[in-house]
Amino acid sequence: MSAPPLTLRSLSLPRRLFQGVLGAGLMALSLGCYLAVLKWRGSDAVLSTQTAWDEAIPFWPAWLYVYLAPYAVGPVLFALLRPGTFAWLMTRGLLTVGISLVIFAALPTRTERPKLDGLGDGLTADCYRSMAGIDDPPGNAAPSLHVSLSCLLAFALCRDFPRWWPAAAAGIGLIWLATLFTWQHHLIDVGTGALLALAVALPWPKSHWPR
């Protein structure tokens, strides 16, 4: 039996706040663990995921605002989900983080950063330098955990709000482009990140998908 249609008024405010805070906690945990493994194994990464196709992708640092947008928008979207979908997202998210960390530790990979000498001054330049400084050395390339978690969130939104799929697809597309245009990741990283999210999402019972 399918679940009743979900509307923005279906959840109480305390429940929304609970989900938003817990979702933000998942994002913070994933970032913290990502950085911990990066500082531990990042300097051992000798395998670059950059290909000749990646070298043809332009470097547009202004896309960092799109790249970082999930950290601002994510908790709000977590708060909108049906409790069952939210629980699915949390468990699959933790599983994805765990798998990614094992891969990062066992097979360290790195990205190729552009030279920042010509980046100039201004807010965007300062923000990019700060982001690059935190994410240094440029390891933990494949799979892109940023892409994986964003895809899982999009899957969850499409489950509860099927009519939102064009917006969810557009959002995922923009995040993929942002990871490439900021040179935070390369094509292999984005592709493997999306495949990991799909593999983790596939065990979702068919009865839980919208009809």
Four-CA torsion 125, 129, 135, 138, nearest 10 degrees: 90
Q: Where are the beta strands (DSSP E) in the chain?
A: 47-48, 109-110
Give the side-chain half-sphere CA count within 13 A for 176: 18
The pLDDT tens digits for 137-192 are 999 999 999 999 999 999 999 999 999 999 999 999 999 999 999 999 999 999 99
Query: In the chain, pLDDT over 90 holds for what percent of residues?
Result: 81
Query: 3-class DSSP state for residue 53?
Result: helix
Q: What's the CA gap between 55 and 58, in Å, rounded?
A: 8
Residue with tokens 């330049």: 125
Residue pair 100/160 in contact by the 8 Å Cβ criterion: no
Say how many CA atoms lie within 13 Å of 196 toward its Cβ.
27
CA pair distance 85, 89, nearest whole angstrom: 6
Query: Residue 15, Cα to own-chain centre: how many angstroms?
Result: 24
Cβ density class 82-104: b for 16+ within 10 Å, e for less: beebbebbbebbeebbebbbebb
Q: What is the 3-state secondary structure (H, E, C) of 141-192?
A: CCCCHHHHHHHHHHHHHHHHCHHHHHHHHHHHHHHHHHHHHCCCCCHHHHHH
- Is pLDDT at 123 greater than 70 in this prediction? yes
pLDDT(203) > 80: no
CB atoms within 10 A of CB 18: 16
Q: What's the pLDDT score for residue 210?
A: 42
Q: Report the pLDDT value the prediction gives residue 4, as an integer from 0 to 100.
A: 52
Single pTM value for the model: 0.90
